[in-house]
Amino acid sequence: AHMKKGLIKIYGNAGQFVGFRMHGGTIYVQKDCGGRGGACMTDGTIVVGGFLESVLPTFTIEGLRKKVKIEEGEVVEAPFYLFLGDLTENGRGRLFVAKEPNPHLGHYEKFL
């Protein structure tokens, strides 16, 4: 099964491989998330509002965003890193990771 559209909201924590083989839609993890988020994704959006263990090396940093739209009428206003991938799948997926709870991802900023 592959997610192709729609919205999944996780109001707590999520384990590893969130959005595995995702083809579209949005997954919003309000709190922490295990590693390997977005593995093999080709499209869609994953938003992590808490701590993310690490970003797969097959994702590239695209920039910083001041806010992220989850759905019509719901916007999370906080700084987020934006990563694109999964590049091994020629993916166009978007991985938004909250900046504040993830100081270990700060080294990506030198690539912006």
Give pTM, 2 decimals: 0.96
From 1-15, 56-70, 98-112, the region with the lowest mean pLDDT: 1-15
| Residue-wise pLDDT tens digits, 64-87 | 999 999 999 999 999 999 999 999
Question: 18, 86, 24, 31: which is closest to 57 by C-alpha?
Answer: 86
Which tokens in the block code for residue 70? 């989850």
pLDDT at 104 over 70: yes
